[in-house]
DNA sequence: GTCTATAATTAGATAGAC
DNA sequence: GTCTATCTAATTATAGAC
């Protein structure tokens, strides 16, 4: 434990990302210094630059990785055929996925403005692709008469905001469990679109 | 215009708050320097300290002032007697109030973690008081059978998240007007609680 | 009331020893 | 691969001239 130097490439790389993720989520990207991150990893500041070209790349890789995971998980999620079933499945998926990754979610929503314009554009495309999946469900349901949505784009954003909000208050071990919360949110989402 | 010095206390004070508000909203509290603010106001950095004891007080006063305004405006809002009418009125009020103050709203939700613990506690009490107003409406409606809400606290947070989300996409001059958007959100809120 | 100058600290990032 | 030392630039906040 007292070793102060040596080779730990396989440990330091992942640890760097985990520490940066937690510190960025807690204090905000702009408020966290490379020295703080280094202290959390257990190395000196200079050593971080063996694993990331700079602080911005650290943030961008965290955010892009999170959105990659989100899109991949959604694509892998089994989806019923009918619009009501699909919306309920989407809502439960969204709630559970976000509750499983509170730090990443916090960063994804809070640090967009700290990305360079190029990096921001990448994240925007990913966010848009995710929203399109929900919008397609709502349009299908509206077309078949299962839903009543005066504006599919507005309803998409309203539902995503509602569902994502769960991360701001839910704590494990509280009054309600995850499955229960996911079910209630899914029911509210269905009702909100007139299902 | 070329004047570089002199007395402008009545102008500089309000300008300082307006500039800080806009810069904090755009770049984030931690990423904005007192020199940037001073440049926006049109004075040197040192002069700012005649109007605020420090950067933290600047942030806190902006956030507390916003919540004061929110609570006062809600108290002044005429409210129908029946739960459905009250929920619709609350939803429209929330949407319109938040669309009128995009910068303040952004700061209120993004910069809580940059407050000192004492200042954070004050804001938390204010936020709680506001949420209690909506929760009371939902509990009334559930008691009279007008609403079906399995959990009033959860529904309160879900609705507030949904309604506040309007600030993330709405732009004046877009496809939908404010009144239209407020009406659609109010309808989604009513449906979400089974009205 | 504002400016200039400055103190004290900290930031991101790099060079070179080991 | 890591550490130490360092560079350059920026930070908040204050002191004193005007």
Per-residue DSSP letters for B127-187? HHHHHHHHHHHHHHHHHHTS---S-HHHHHHHHHHHHHGGGGT--TTSSS-HHHHHHHHHH
CATH for B43: 1.10.10.60
Strand D-proximal residues of A, range 23-52, CB below 7 A, are 38, 42-47, 50-51
How confident is the prediction for chain A on average, in pLDDT? 96
Q: What is the pLDDT of residue A5?
A: 66
CB contact under 8 A, B150 and A184: yes
Quick check: A122 contacting B, CB < 8 Å?
no
Residues A68 and A42 in one domain: no
Decide if pLDDT at A1 tops 80: no
Whether B155 maps to a domain, the answer reads yes
What SS3 class is residue A194? coil
In which element (H, E) is residue B111 found?
none
Tokens of A153: 């784009």
- Cβ of residue B24 closer than 8 Å to a chain A Cβ: no
Task: Give the confidence band of A8 by pLDDT, cuts at 50, 70, 90.
Answer: confident
Whether A142 and A88 have beta carbons less than 8 Å apart is answered as: no
Which residue among B151, B161, B193 places its CB closest to the CB of A164? B161
Sorting pLDDT into bands at 50, 70 and 90, what band is A9?
confident
% of chain B residues with pLDDT over 90: 94
CB contact under 8 A, B30 and A26: no
Gap from A12 CA to chain B (nearest CA, Å): 27
Q: Are residues A61 and A44 part of one domain? A: no
**For chain A, how many residues are written?**
195
pLDDT at A2 over 60: no
What pLDDT does residue B3 have?
44
**Within-domain flag for A141:** yes
Q: How far apart are CA B121 and CA A124, in angstroms?
A: 34
Chain B residues closer than 8 Å to A188 by CB: 155, 158, 192-193
Show which of residues 148-187 on chain B sit within 8 Å of chain A, judged by CB atoms: 150-151, 154-155, 157-162, 164-166, 168-169, 176, 181, 184-185, 187
On the question of pLDDT at B14 being above 90, the answer is yes
Let me know whether A117 and A45 are in one domain. Answer: no
> In Å, how far is B195's CA from the nearest CA of chain A?
9
Domain that includes residue A184, residue range: 54-192
A65 lies in the same domain as A18: no
Burial B71-85 (b: 16+ CB within 10 A, else e): eeebeebeeeeebbe
Q: At A169, which helix (H) or strand (E)? A: none
Note whether B101 and B11 are same-domain residues: no
Residue B65 located in a structural domain:
yes
Is the CB of residue A18 less than 8 Å from the CB of residue A27? Answer: no
Report yes or no on A2 lying in a domain. Answer: no
CB-side neighbour CA atoms (13 Å) of A174: 12
Mean pLDDT of B151-177: 98
pLDDT of residue A10: 84
A2-6, A16-20, B126-130: the lowest-pLDDT one: A2-6
Does position B7 have pLDDT exceeding 80, yes or no? Answer: no
CB A77 within 8 A of CB A85: no
Same domain, B21 and B89: no
Q: Residue B22 falls within a domain, yes or no?
A: yes
Average pLDDT score over residue span A112-140: 98
Q: Measured between alpha carbons, how far is A110 from A103 in angstroms, rounded to an integer?
A: 11
- Give the separation between CA B141 and CA B159, rounded to whole angstroms: 15
Q: Which helix (H) or strand (E) holds A34?
A: helix A34-41
Is residue A1 situated within a structural domain?
no
* B62 within domain boundaries: yes
On whether both B15 and B76 belong to a single domain, the answer is no
With a cut of 80, say whether residue B5 has pLDDT above it. no
Summarize pLDDT for A178-192 with one digit per residue, the tens. Answer: 999 999 999 999 999
How far does the CA of residue B13 sit from the closest CA of chain A (Å)? 27
Distance from CA of B6 to the nearest CA of A (A): 35
On strand D, nucleotides with any atom < 7 Å from a protein CB are 1-6, 10-16
Confidence of residue B9 (pLDDT cuts 50, 70, 90): confident
Q: Contact, A108 vs A59, CB < 8 A?
A: no
Domain identity same for A120 and A63? yes
Instruction: Give yes or no for CB of B55 within 7 Å of strand D.
Output: yes
| A106 phi/psi in degrees, rounded to 5 | -60, -45
Give the number of domains in chain B.
2
Residues B32 and B116 in one domain: no
Q: For residues A63 and A146, state if they share a domain.
A: yes
Q: Is the pLDDT of residue A48 over 50?
A: yes
Q: Which pLDDT band holds residue A126 (cuts at 50, 70, 90)? A: very high
Per-residue confidence (pLDDT) for residue A16, from 0 to 100: 98
Percent of chain A with pLDDT over 70: 97
Give, to the nearest 10 degrees, the angle between helix B152-164 and helix A178-192: 50
Point out the residue nearest to C12 (C-alpha to C1'). A34
pLDDT tens by residue, A65-99: 999 999 999 999 999 999 999 999 999 999 999 99
Task: Output the CA–CA distances (angstroms, integers) from residue A20 to A27, A151, B87, B127, in the order listed.
Answer: 10, 39, 42, 29
Kindly state whether residue B2 falls inside one of the protein's structural domains.
no
Report, in this order, helix, strand and coil percent for chain A, each rounded to 5. Answer: 75, 0, 25
Q: In A71-91, which positions are buried (b, 16+ CB within 10 angstroms) versus exposed (e)?
A: eeebeebeeeeebbebbbbbb
Residue A117 has, within 13 A of its CA and on its CB side, a CA count of 0
Is pLDDT above 60 for A23?
Answer: yes
Same domain, A61 and A39: no
Q: CB–CB of B31 and A114 under 8 A?
A: yes
Same domain, B138 and B69: yes
Residue A101 has pLDDT above 60, yes or no: yes
CATH number of the domain residue A139 falls in: 1.10.357.10
pLDDT at residue A4, as a whole number:
56
């Amino acid at each position: 434990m007292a070793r102060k130097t040596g080779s730990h490439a396989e440990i330091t790389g992942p640890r760097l990302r985990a520490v940066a993720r937690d510190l960025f989520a807690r204090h905000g990207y702009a408020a966290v210094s490379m020295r703080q991150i280094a202290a959390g990893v257990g190395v000196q500041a200079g050593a971080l630059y063996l694993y990331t070209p700079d602080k911005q790349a650290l943030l961008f890789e965290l955010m892009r990785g999170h959105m990659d995971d989100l899109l991949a998980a959604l694509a892998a999620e089994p989806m019923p055929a009918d619009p009501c079933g699909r919306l309920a499945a989407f809502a439960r998926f969204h709630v559970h996925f976000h509750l499983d990754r509170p730090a990443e979610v916090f960063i994804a929503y809070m640090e967009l403005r700290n990305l360079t314009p190029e990096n921001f554009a990448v994240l925007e495309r990913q966010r848009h692709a995710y929203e399109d999946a929900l919008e397609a469900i709502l349009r299908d349901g509206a077309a078949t008469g299962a839903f009543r949505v005066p504006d599919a784009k507005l309803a998409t954003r309203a539902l995503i905001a509602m569902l994502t909000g769960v991360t701001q208050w839910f704590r494990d071990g509280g009054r309600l469990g995850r499955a229960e919360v996911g079910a209630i949110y899914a029911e509210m989402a269905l009702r909100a679109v007139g299902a």
